[in-house]
Every structure is written in structure tokens, then in C-alpha cells.
Amino acid sequence: MEVKTRHSHLIRQEAARLGFSFVGMARVEYMDEEARHLEEWLHRGLHGEMHYMANHFEKRVNPRKLMEGARSVVSLMYNYYTDQEQQDPEAPKLAKYAYGKDYHFVIKHKLKDLLRFISEQIGEVNGRCFVDSAPVLERDWARRAGIGWVGKNTLLIHPKAGSYFFLAELILDLELVYDDPIKDYCGTCRRCIDACPTEAISPDGYWMNGSKCISYLTIELREAIPEEFRGKMENWMFGCDICQEVCPWNRFAEQHEETAFEPHPGLLEMSRRDWEEITEETFRELFRKSAVKRTKYEGLKRNITFLQ
């Protein structure tokens, strides 16, 4: 078996053992098309107060600026979908990805295990792990690696599994067998565009006005939520799943098998009143190891109050 083929097979096999649902591989190169898209997005001010998106531009579009000698980007998808839901239909809503433990830590640990495996089985390989925590255009690399297309809602969609996935990357100085991008299957569908209550998705799709996105307003925005969004948040207090809930491709979503993503006991039983009266002590207990910690107690209280 050709060396590159054997190495690629070993990485795919171990990634599957570690719980990753899909793996794709792409050759490292300067991301010319993506650079133009990002430049226009920033120029149009669609990043809102996320000023960090304008930082490290060259690193975002050239992995060799992140790791010297980089040759391959291994893109991985980790399922977080659950059919469990909050029991009180009037309770402020939490995006599914935030039900369990913080995915950054859970997946980073698995990536480090995968990198260690590569060094043990293949030899001296330099690599870096990324989970939504560095200037990496993860959706674009996943698209290049053939594990999905970037949909009109700007999320990566897998044709057999939907979009409820965390994305992660390994950048390696190892030559591998590379995958081809797949076609865009959004077609004429515009359910995500029509369903977005704040009109964050452009009329033709594929462009997200970050400053209008409910996830941005409830997580990224540190100031007061602008009054123009009052009555339009559809009761989301942290994140938003609307454009995923309406996407036809998510009919293929399957329950995850990651125990770390199971909700904290009692989280889904919280009533509307429980949330409105939540104390800092309860917040710390519920979200001790959760991504929700990012918004802090004061931020979550701000969001809940804005919904009332």
C-alpha cells in the first residue's frame, strides 16, 4: 500500500475510534477565494463587535503562518445532536451545543490523543490541534476536505448527517491522500433565510450579518442588546438553533454518543420562572464545565431580562 494511503487510512481509523463522525483531508495552500470573501465580509462590517475576526488575517488564509512546514489540514466532525429538549415550552432557550460540557475541552483532548497516535504509528510528525479557538477558517477547510458544503445559513452541512457538528482541525507537516470538495445541495431552498427572525442571513443566503445573529447578540455582544431586536429573539437566551431546526438536511441528524455532552441533571427541567430567578450560585453549578460560562452570570441575566 502506498505510504500516503496507509497514513491516511490510519488517521481515519483512529479518528473514528475516538468518536469523530467524519474525516476529510485537504492540501495546505493559500486560500485565495476565501481570503476575498473574508475581506468583503469584514469590509461590509458584518462581524459586528467581533473585532478579533479582523486580526491575524494572513494566518486565517494561510496555514503555513500558523505552522511552519504545514502540508495537510485534517478536518473532523464531532456530533452533538440530541433529541432531548427543555421541558417548559415557555422557558428561555439554550442552543443544543451548550447542553453538556464545553466542547473545546472535550474535543481538544481527543485531538491531542489523535496527534499522539500519529507520532507513535507514523513517526516524527509535527502538528497543531484547533477547536474553534484560533484563526482557522474551519468551515472552509471542511468544505475543501469534502466533508460537507457551506450552506445558505453559512453552516457546514453533511449530506447524510446534517449540521449539528463541532468542527476541528489538525494541521500536519505530513503528505496525505486528499479529498475533493462536494457540490452544494441547498438548491432553491430558503427555509433558513425565511425562518431567521432577525434577518441575519442575506436574502440570497451564504452571507451572515453577525451583528444581527441571535447567537452573536446573546454570546458575543458585551453591550446592551439593541432595542431593535426586542420581540424578535424567539425566546433564545444563549445561542440559537433556528436555521438548523428548519434545515431539511437535519432530518438525518442522529443522537450523539458522547456522555460529556449529556445535559447537567436538572438543566432541561428548569421552568421559565426558574430561569428568571436564577442565582449566581445556581448558574455556577449548572454551567461549571459548560460553554455557557463564556457569557457569565451577568450576561445570561441580561439576555433573560431582555426576553421578558
Whether residue 122 sits in one domain with residue 63: yes
Number of domains in the chain: 2
Whether residue 149 sits in one domain with residue 15: yes
Q: Express each pLDDT in 24-45 by its tens digit.
A: 999 999 888 888 888 888 777 7
Whether residue 218 sits in one domain with residue 153: no
Whether residue 153 sits in one domain with residue 207: no
Q: Express each pLDDT in 242-257 by its tens digit.
A: 999 999 999 999 999 9
Q: Express each pLDDT in 248-306 by its tens digit.
A: 999 999 999 999 999 998 999 999 999 999 999 999 999 999 999 989 999 999 999 99
Helices 3-17 & 103-121 angle (0-180, nearest 10): 140
Amino acid type, 202: S
Round to whole Å and give the CA distance between 17 and 219.
33
CA atoms within 13 A on the CB side of 18: 25
Amino acid type, 189: C
Round to whole Å and give the CA distance between 173 and 128.
10
In a domain, 95, yes or no: no
Whether residue 148 sits in one domain with residue 13: yes
Would you call 55 helix, strand, or coil by DSSP?
Answer: coil
In a domain, 149, yes or no: yes
Whether residue 26 sits in one domain with residue 109: yes
Round to whole Å and give the CA distance between 170 and 247.
28
Whether residue 141 sits in one domain with residue 25: yes
Closest CA to 250 of 258, 241, 259, 260: 241
Q: Express each pLDDT in 98-137 by its tens digit.
A: 999 999 999 999 999 999 999 999 998 999 999 987 778 9
Q: Cell 426558574 belongs to which residue?
A: 274
In a domain, 80, yes or no: yes
Cβ pair 140, 192 in contact under 8 A: no
Q: Express each pLDDT in 195-228 by its tens digit.
A: 999 999 999 999 999 899 999 999 999 999 999 9
Whether residue 160 sits in one domain with residue 236: no
Cβ pair 96, 163 in contact under 8 A: no
In a domain, 219, yes or no: yes
In a domain, 184, yes or no: no
pLDDT, average across residues 57-75: 90
Q: Cell 463522525 belongs to which residue?
A: 21
User: Which residues pair with residue 127 across a beta bridge?
Assistant: 172
Whether residue 284 sits in one domain with residue 157: no
What pLDDT is stored for residue 40 in this prediction? 85
pLDDT, average across residues 185-203: 97
Q: Cell 468544505 belongs to which residue?
A: 143
Phi, psi (deg, nearest 5) at residue 107: -80, -35
Assess whether pLDDT exceeds 70 at residue 51. Answer: no
Which residues participate in catalysis according to the annotation? 132
Whether residue 201 sits in one domain with residue 146: no
Question: Alpha helix locations (H) across the chain?
Answer: 3-17, 32-43, 57-61, 103-121, 138-144, 191-195, 214-215, 242-245, 272-276, 280-286, 296-307
Whether residue 207 sits in one domain with residue 285: yes
Closest CA to 22 of 183, 164, 192, 135: 164
What pLDDT is stored for residue 61 in this prediction? 83
In a domain, 89, yes or no: no
Phi, psi (deg, nearest 5) at residue 98: -100, 10
Q: Which three cell numbers stand for residue 249?
A: 438536511
pLDDT, average across residues 132-144: 89
User: Between the CA of residue 260 and those of 33, 79, 99, 263, what are the distances in Å?
Assistant: 37, 12, 10, 8
Domain containing 271 equals: 191-307
Whether residue 106 sits in one domain with residue 36: yes
> Where is average pLDDT lowest: 55-59, 119-123, 230-234, 295-299?
55-59
In a domain, 186, yes or no: no
Question: What are the contacts of 135-138 at 24+ separation with CB within 8 A?
Answer: 135/55, 135/56, 135/59, 135/60, 135/66, 136/60, 136/63, 136/66, 136/169, 136/171, 137/31, 137/34, 137/38, 137/60, 137/61, 138/75, 138/167, 138/168, 138/169
